[in-house]
């Protein structure tokens, strides 16, 4: 690792870290925000789902760190329509006004199948799922034949209690649907393609900066409570 290089490591929140050279990656400091963002995860999910030109994508937890990156990337790849859901009308407006979504709804506002029928009248080809649970169960029924689900996260299980959805297997079989889990770290070799797509389309991750490590625990709780749109970064050397 050259002296003065900017590196990415996974040693967690800290101001200093001693890291083996094999456990960090040298990156261009110009791209620091792109590496801090969850854009690579969004890109990998769309790629494993085999998104094709003109298709309709639906994203759950669309205002989150991963979800907020999906619409602009999907459009850059060729998606025809991108729909997202989140927990408030204010965040839904953010999705359509700032983050490239064609339609967005508050999933607490009514049954998900009805909201999907309104927002994606021609059905869904790719479901980028961050939530799982009943959200996944409802969306299965809105998928078009040969639709694909990129299973990115299971927030309903991670942050809630909705761990055991009743998936309609006959719909999955009859419509030849595919559900595929993925982890972005299996595809770090796709990072150069991701960075090119981001730069070429001038996509800037939506983010909020909080100052100082001492602010990080509260910021994390606020992320879980849905208080932010996009990712949250902690700036070191600027104590609040």
Judged by the rule CB under 6 A, the positions of this chain that interact with ligand NAP are 38, 41, 61, 63-67, 86-87, 130-131, 152-156, 158-160, 182-184, 223-224, 226
Please provide residue 210's backbone torsions phi and psi, each rounded to the nearest 5 degrees.
Answer: -115, 150
Which CB sits closer to ligand NAP, 121 or 160?
Answer: 160
Tell the smallest beta-carbon distance from residue 3 to ligand NAP (Å): 31
Closest distance to ligand NAP from the beta carbon of 189 (Å): 14
Report the nearest approach of ligand NAP to the CB of residue 91 (Å): 6
Looking at beta carbons only, is 193 or 239 nearer to ligand NAP? 193
Nearer to ligand NAP, 153 or 205 (CB): 153
CB 65 → ligand NAP: shortest distance, Å?
Answer: 4
CA nearest 107: which of 124, 136, 92, 85? 85
Closest by CA to 22, choosing from 2, 40, 1, is 1
CB 42 within 8 A of CB 108: no
Q: Which is nearer to ligand NAP, 11 or 158 (CB)?
A: 158
Closer CB to ligand NAP, residue 56 or residue 86? 86
Q: How far is CA 117 from the centre of its chain?
A: 22
Which DSSP state fits 230?
S
The pair of three-digit structure tokens given for residue 205, joined into one six-digit string: 């991750």
User: What are the residues facing 27 on neighbouring strands?
Assistant: 6
Identify which of 140, 130, 193, 186 has the alpha carbon closest to the alpha carbon of residue 165: 140
Please report how close the Cβ of residue 132 comes to ligand NAP at its closest, in angstroms. Answer: 8
Cβ–Cβ under 8 Å, residues 167 and 145:
no
């Amino acid at each position: 690792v050259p002296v003065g290089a900017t590196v990415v490591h996974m040693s967690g929140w800290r101001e200093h870290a001693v890291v083996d050279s094999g456990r960090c990656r040298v990156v261009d400091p110009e791209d620091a925000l792109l590496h801090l963002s969850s854009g690579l995860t969004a890109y990998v999910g769309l790629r494993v789902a085999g998104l094709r030109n003109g298709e309709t994508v639906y994203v759950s937890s669309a205002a989150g760190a991963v979800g907020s990156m999906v619409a602009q990337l999907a459009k850059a790849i060729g998606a025809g329509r991108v729909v997202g859901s989140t927990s408030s009308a204010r965040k839904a407006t953010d999705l359509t006004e700032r983050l490239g979504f064609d339609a967005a709804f508050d999933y607490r506002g009514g049954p998900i199948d009805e909201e999907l029928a309104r927002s994606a009248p021609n059905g869904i080809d790719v479901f980028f799922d961050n939530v799982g649970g009943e959200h996944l169960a409802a969306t299965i029924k809105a998928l078009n034949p040969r639709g694909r689900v990129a299973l990115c996260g299971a927030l309903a299980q991670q942050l809630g209690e909705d761990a055991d959805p009743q998936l309609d297997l006959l719909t999955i079989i009859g419509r030849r649907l595919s559900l595929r889990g993925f982890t972005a770290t299996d595809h770090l070799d796709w990072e150069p393609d991701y960075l090119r797509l981001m730069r070429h389309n001038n996509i800037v991750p939506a983010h909020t900066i909080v100052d100082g490590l001492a602010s990080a625990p509260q910021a994390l709780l606020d992320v879980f409570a849905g208080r932010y749109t996009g990712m949250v970064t902690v700036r070191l050397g600027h104590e609040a």
